[in-house]
Each structure stands twice: as C-alpha cells, then as structure tokens.
Chains A and B, each alone.
Chain A
Amino acid sequence: MRRETLHAWLLLLPAAVLLASFTHIPAIETVVNSFFSTARGMRPSHFVGLGNYRNLIADPTFWQAMRNNLLYAAITIPLSMGIALAMALLVRGRIGGRGFLRMAFFTPTVLPLIAVANIWIFFYTPGFGLLNQIGALFGLPNMNFLGQGATALYAVAAVSVWKEAGFFMIFYLAALQTIPPSLIEAARLEGASSWHVFRRVTLPLIMPTTLFISVNAVINAFRLVDQVFVMTQGGPDNASTLLFYYIYQVGFQFWDTAYAATLTVVMLAILVAIAIGQFFLLDRKVHYR
C-alpha cells in the first residue's frame, strides 16, 4: 500500500470509527432487530419475519401517533417558516431597534428546551396561568390547555412554532442579505410594487434556503420528543403522542426494543420519502446560484 494512502486512511480513522459505532452500525442493527422478537427472560430473541410490521399495522396507538404527527407537522412547518420569513423581512430593513428585535426573535432558540417547556407550562396552567389570567380579563372561561385532548397537541405545537421561527429566521436573514440591492432597484425602476418584488424577485431567490429550511423543519417535526416529555407525556389519552415519543415509550418504558426498532424503521422510511419528495418536487422551482 502506498504511504499516502495509508496516511489518508489513518487520518480518516477517528471520524470513521465514531460514525460507524454511533450511526451506521446502530442503523443497520435497528433494521435487523425489526425482524426479530424482543428477548424476554428465558425466551431469547428469534426471527419473526414481518411479524413486528403486522403488529404495527394493527396497533391503534401507532396510527394515533401518526395522525398526531402529521397534524403537528402541518401546523408547525408552514407557521414557523412563514413567521420566520416575516421576521427576517422585518429586521432586514433599517428600522429602529433592529439589533434588539433580532436578538429577541432569536432568543427562543438559545434557551434550553426544558426551561422553555416549563415556562410554557406555567403559561398554560389552569386557573392562575398567564393565558387564563389574560383570558379572564376578557371574560373567557378557564381552560386547561395541556390537560384536554382537544387542545393538548395545539398547545405543544404553539411552543414549537415559537421556538423554531427564530432559528429559521437566521437562515432567511442570511439569504435575504445575499440578494444584491440593485436587483430590487432594477425591479422598482420598472414599476414593480413591493408585493411584486417580493413574489417575483425575492421569493424565487431565497428558494434554496426555503428548501433547506423545509427539510429541516420536517425532520424536526418528526424528531420532537423532549417537549412532549416535559409538557404532556403524550397525554391525555395519547392526544399529544408523537411518533418519536411513542418510540421512546415502547423502547424504554415498555422495553419492547424490537417493536421500537420496527417503529424507527418506519419513521426513517417516512423521513427519507419526504426528503426525496421535497428535493424532486421543489428542485424544479429552485434556482441555485
């Protein structure tokens, strides 16, 4: 073997070992595990073929988590991206207190999620929580946002939007700043209104960023667990159980690791399908410079 080749492999080795031991091997093992039963006491794990997948299709909690997750994604992704773009457009221009606004919008991203979730639990608390106190001023009835099946998921989603929007704003802000001002001036000179400039010039030029953010937003929407864990624990009656939280429950509370592996494979398949779909669908509309 050539000396340089050896050096190259040696330099790659630390990263390769880390990637393999924490990402690649576990991923393969997860797929393998999903075809075996969970080892319990005296009974060792044995091959069950697609048995776990049959159970999954028959599992009402899985479908509930799936529905919840799709609804959660449908709410949080467009809302957080829309708000992020609006905030970025706002703090791009020369307005008073721009630095303060940028910081304020970004703060939710910096705060640790556990702390954030606890603050929001206080906001939502029935009786003396902030939202109920404000509601009481307008004569609204007392609401238990996190304790009701009808509102729990939306309450969790609201926190996500609040937290994600500031993070996505940074990407939009960076994208907006790469648009040469002369492009806007050229459009203005031709008589284009602000809306026209936004729709025909700004929006197409930040499409690569939009695609990047949307892929991230989808992954985040399916990866959420800590917030559910702190705020609702999936309740009441699985009303706010999301896919990843359900995997956590199955794997580490019920210790049915094989079924958890099956759920993980399904979730990965969904994420891969969505990401590929986004790239193929949006790629035709995205202009890369």
Chain B
Amino acid sequence: MKQATPPSLSVQPVAVAPGVVLHDLCKDYGTQRAIETLGCEIRGGEFTVLLGPSGCGKSTLLRMIAGFETPTGGRITLDGRDITALPSSQRNIAMVFQNYALFPHLDVADNITFGLNVRRTPKAEQAQRLDGVARMMGLAALLARKPAQLSGGQQQRVALARAVISGRPVLLMDEPLSNLDAKLRAEMRVEIRALQRRLGLTLIYVTHDQVEAMTMADRIILLNAGQIEQSGTPEEIYSRPATPFAARFIGSPPMNLVDAADLRIAAPPGTIAGLRPEEIEIADDGDGLPVRLTGHEYLGADILVSVMAGTAATARLILRRPARLGLPEGPELHIRWAPAALHLFDPKSGRALTAAPAATAPGHRAAG
C-alpha cells in the first residue's frame, strides 16, 4: 500500500456517524399542512434518499433537519440529542445547496475554508485540511479561481468540498445534481456515493429523480403529499411497493396498474393489480390471458410492447422484452406472469395485499 497522505482531519472517515430520528414531525404553513405527522429513523453512516414528486415536502423536511425551518410539532434527534431548537450552526451538520450557494466574491480556497475561518481554526490547520480536501476532490488546480470561472461540475465539487472540510458527520444535500447535464450527473452520482462510503457519512439526500435514488441510496424514504409512502432499501421498494403510488413512482416505465378483474384475477371489486413490464412474458403456446397488440417502442436492447387487456379492452399494459426476440406477431396475443410477480392493492386502504410487508423503519406509520 502506498504511503498515506499526511494526516488530515477532513479526509479521515468519521468514526461512527450518528443517525437522525424524526419523532412525530409536522409542519404547517399558515393553514396549509406541508408535512403530516411523520416519524422515521435515518441510520448513521447510511445514504438515505428523501424521494418524492415536487411539492411532497421532501425539501421542507430537509430544511427542518438543517434548522432553516422550525417544525410545527415533533422533535428531531441527532445521536440521541434533541436538536429541534438548536440553531443550524450547532447541529453538527453540513449541507450542499441546490444552487451550491458558493460565495461569488470569494475564490475557491476561501469558499472552502469559509466555515473554518468563522470558527477561527488556526491558519496552519486550515491550509492542511484545505490541501487534503482539494486533492481528494480534484480541486487543487482551481483554488485561486472565482466560482463564476468554474463549470457546473466544478462548482458542485467546491460545494461538496466546503461541506466535507467541516468534518461534520451528517451531510444534507438538496437536489444537488439538478443543475448538471445528464453525463455529468451520472459521473457525480458515482462520485458522491464513493465519497459517502469513504468518509462514512450519514448522508441525507433530497431528489425527485428515481434513478438517483435507486443508484445511490442505502435506504429510500418515499414521500407523497407530506406523508411517508414507503421506506426501505431500493430493492424492497422496487420489488414490494407498499402502495400504488410507490409502484408508479419507481421504475421506468412504471409498473402496470390495472383493475384486477381485467386480468381475470379473483379479488374483491376495485382491487388494483400491478405487474412490472419485465415480469410479463408473451405466451407463444397460446396459453394465458388474451390481449390485443396496440403498439411498440424500440429502446435498443429492449423493446416495449403495448397491449390492451380486459373484457372491453380498456386495460393498457406495457411489457418489456429483449429486442432480439423481436416484436411478437399480433394482433391477438397471450400473456402470462409468475404468481410471485403479481402485486395486489387493497381497494380501501390502497396498501399492498400480497406477501409480507416490506421492512420499514421504526416509528413509521402506515397511512390509512
């Protein structure tokens, strides 16, 4: 192993990153309720993604953890310590903002060491930590530049460096990749994930992009209309969505959700049946549910086939199959699926009926 770089506090992994627990947290804006009473545990050292559509309250939740918004009710604890009433600076958290919030009048070095300066860290230690962080983030050649002279990806890196140099074990990120182009976004996803692993940070990451959530997260907390829809690992949420919302939000194209009766499944009226596109296959032997071919979309490796099912041919299903198998000969087809692939959702509660419930964090309250 090659000689390690000189000891630098900022590059060393956090020994044991603390977890964050939200206890019955809620937030009102006037008469508008932004966050319904919710509770969840964000485990120390994990990469947790708060995922949801815009307006679901994920940013509000993050800003409450950061201390920029005061909760209407409930408590936030970090490492067992109640931080609900503490000012942001005393919460031992760092944050990367959506627009990076770099100080435009300061050069990269001063931006990164801004917090150390505020906290009167000795100059020698500042220089040492800056050196370590700049090298780790590949910013060493850019330290004298102003933010306006940097590309979007470089600005993102400076914002990350500023958060990392603080040595704070909890890092919050608010849609940090939304201003980058697709290629850069893919690169930064890998980089942020690697950084979190390397430093052992507790990372709370807000996004509306399910791809970011699926590729980076240890654990996803899926939010909808100020409530937790489901929380669990990406695999759990993908394979066992707890609600039709979760089923639709994760996966591209999303899970097919149709009336169970249209698939000739015996279930109480109104039950919603869900099938992932890749779980449906064409039955070449003519055995299975009869459907009518209505269209297709060629994606390169795969092909998406649209079919209509049901007595009145009103249930639209999309199925994914390898493109090398070609488009099935229609228009009359039969489809089938493995019994385990079928998801059923209760007509009243909207919760999943099949299989054991996905592992949820303590304190998680099921809606309905």
Contact = CB atoms under 8 A, between A and B. Distances in A.
Interface of A: 180, 182-183, 185-192, 196, 200-201, 204-205, 207, 287, 289
Given A182-B99, A186-B97, A289-B148, A191 B115 contact: yes
Nearest to A201: B103
B105 interface: yes
Interface in B196-230: none
B257 interface: no
10 contacts: A182-B101, A183-B101, A186-B162, A187-B118, A188-B88, A189-B66, A189-B67, A189-B115, A190-B115, A191-B115
Contact of A185 (B90, B94, B97, B166): B97
Place the interface of chain B in its size category: 20 to 34
B101 A204 contact: no
A189 B66 CA distance: 8
B114 interface: yes
B89 A189 contact: yes
Contacts, number: 59
Contacts of A287: 104-105, 146
A180 B100 CA distance: 11
Contacts of B101: 180, 182-183, 185-186
A267 to B, nearest CB: 35
A46 to B, nearest CB: 57
Given A182-B97, A182-B99, A196-B118, A189 B105 contact: no
Nearest to B98: A182
B99 A190 contact: no
Given A187-B103, A191-B119, A289-B104, 12 more contacts: A180-B99, A182-B98, A183-B101, A186-B97, A188-B88, A189-B67, A190-B89, A190-B114, A190-B119, A201-B103, A205-B104, A287-B104
A185 B62 CA distance: 13
Q: Which of B93, B98, B99, B101 has the largest count of A CB atoms less than 10 A from its CB?
A: B101
Q: Which of B87, B94, B105 has the largest count of A CB atoms less than 10 A from its CB?
A: B105
A190 B166 CA distance: 8
A192 B148 contact: no
Interface in B21-55: none
Given A190-B115, A190-B118, A289-B148, A185 B88 contact: yes
Interface string B69-100: 00000000000000000011110011101110
A186 B94 CA distance: 9
Contacts of B166: 190
Nearest to B110: A200
Nearest to A187: B114
Given A182-B99, A183-B101, A205-B105, A191 B118 contact: yes
A166 B95 CA distance: 38
Contacts of B105: 204-205, 207, 287
A207 B89 CA distance: 27
A189 B94 CA distance: 7
B68 interface: yes
Q: Which of B87, B93, B115 has the largest count of A CB atoms less than 10 A from its CB?
A: B115
Q: Which of B67, B87, B97, B119 has the largest count of A CB atoms less than 10 A from its CB?
A: B97
A94 to B, nearest CB: 14
Contacts of B68: 185
A186 B88 CA distance: 10
Leading 8 A-B pairs by shortest Cβ distance: A190-B115, A191-B89, A287-B105, A186-B101, A182-B101, A204-B105, A182-B97, A189-B88
A192 B103 CA distance: 13
A190 B92 CA distance: 9
Contacts of A185: 66, 68, 88, 97, 101
Interface string B122-148: 000000000000000000000000101
A189 B148 contact: no
Q: Which of B67, B90, B103, B119 has the largest count of A CB atoms less than 10 A from its CB?
A: B103
Nearest to A186: B101
Contacts of A180: 99, 101
A205 B103 CA distance: 9
B169 to A, nearest CB: 14
B63 to A, nearest CB: 9
